[in-house]
């Protein structure tokens, strides 16, 4: 199973953009890249996902490298409510729908 | 509102006393899964179910049982809990055939086994 590597922690200031990196050098051609986040005392929640092209939604943007070996989650204007653990995950197309979870990046947002 | 509901939210029990953590989803999802989350280890899959009466082991199934008698419910059963099963548990669901679709998670069950 392909794995992801993320920094343990990052810090940002409120209303500034945040770029959360993820390395997935062993990604296969059919693996999707997902990002979830987990707020304190809550279950993980979906943020965004993509396969090859960059993706945007109301929460964030996902920039995927051309060789797909890395990706970056972009929060355009961090708020205090964005303080969470962010997980970069790969999912395979097999029957398990398995997601390989790492330890994520703990994002602190300073007022 | 689309949601995954777990109960109870918190549970303290003693070694060997059978318990069940319930999970229910109202989105008619075929796929459901249980995870446990431990400090330094992240989320690990315990069991999953592709549909009614179809279940399979995840990465850490020892000491757990599941059943899927109806689509909406996927209870996690600990027949004889032990202290190493003290953990934060999450149930999740996903629509059928949608590997790239988002997982919906419950709010979690914090279990302490004394």
pLDDT at B99 over 70: no
pLDDT at A23 over 60: yes
**B34 in Cβ contact with B25 (< 8 Å):** no
The whole-angstrom distance between B99's CA and the closest CA on chain A is 6
**What span, in angstroms and rounded, lies between the C-alpha atoms of B61 and B33?**
12
Would you state the structure tokens that stand for residue B38, as one six-digit string? Answer: 């431990």
pLDDT digits (tens, 9 = 90+) for B55-91: 999 999 999 999 999 999 999 999 999 999 999 999 9
Preceding amide of B8 cis, omega within 30:
yes
pLDDT for A28 equals 85
**If pLDDT is split at 50, 70 and 90, which confidence band does B101 have?**
confident
Q: Does any CB of chain B come closer than 8 Å to the CB of residue A105?
A: no
pLDDT for A94 equals 61
**If pLDDT is split at 50, 70 and 90, which confidence band does B96 have?**
confident
- Given an 8 Å threshold on Cβ–Cβ distance, is B108 in contact with A42? yes
- Given an 8 Å threshold on Cβ–Cβ distance, is B94 in contact with A91? no
**What span, in angstroms and rounded, lies between the C-alpha atoms of B23 and B4?**
7
**A20 in Cβ contact with A107 (< 8 Å):** yes
pLDDT digits (tens, 9 = 90+) for A26-85: 888 888 899 999 998 899 999 999 999 999 999 999 999 999 999 999 999 999 999 999
pLDDT for B47 equals 95
Q: Where are the alpha helices (DSSP H) in chain B?
A: none
Chain A residues touching B4 at Cβ < 8 A: 43
Q: Which of B103, B104, B110 to substitute to test the interface with A, most A CBs within 10 Å?
A: B103
pLDDT digits (tens, 9 = 90+) for B1-48: 889 999 999 999 999 999 999 999 999 999 999 999 998 888 999 999
pLDDT for B40 equals 85
Contacts of A8 (CB under 8 A, 6+ apart): A103, A105, A106
């Amino acid at each position: 199973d392909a794995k992801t590597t993320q920094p343990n922690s990052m810090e940002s200031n409120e209303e500034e953009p945040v770029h959360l990196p993820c390395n997935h050098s062993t990604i296969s051609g059919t693996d999707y890249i997902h990002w979830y986040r987990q707020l304190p005392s809550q279950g993980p929640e979906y943020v965004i996902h993509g396969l090859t092209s960059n993706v945007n939604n109301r929460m964030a943007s996902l920039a995927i490298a051309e060789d797909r070996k890395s990706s970056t989650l972009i929060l355009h204007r961090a708020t205090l409510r964005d303080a969470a653990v962010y997980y970069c995950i790969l999912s395979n197309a097999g029957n398990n729908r398995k997601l390989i979870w790492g330890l994520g990046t703990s994002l602190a947002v300073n007022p | 509102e689309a949601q995954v509901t777990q109960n109870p939210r918190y549970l303290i029990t003693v070694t060997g006393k059978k318990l069940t953590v319930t999970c229910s989803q109202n989105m008619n999802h075929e796929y459901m899964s249980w995870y446990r989350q431990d400090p330094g280890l992240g989320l690990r899959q315990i069991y999953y179910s592709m549909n009614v009466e179809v279940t399979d082991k995840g990465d850490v199934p020892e000491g757990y049982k599941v059943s899927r008698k109806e689509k909406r419910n996927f209870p996690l059963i600990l027949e004889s809990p032990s202290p190493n099963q003290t953990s934060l548990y999450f149930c999740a669901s996903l629509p059928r055939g949608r590997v790239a679709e988002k997982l919906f998670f419950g709010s979690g069950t914090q279990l302490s086994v004394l």
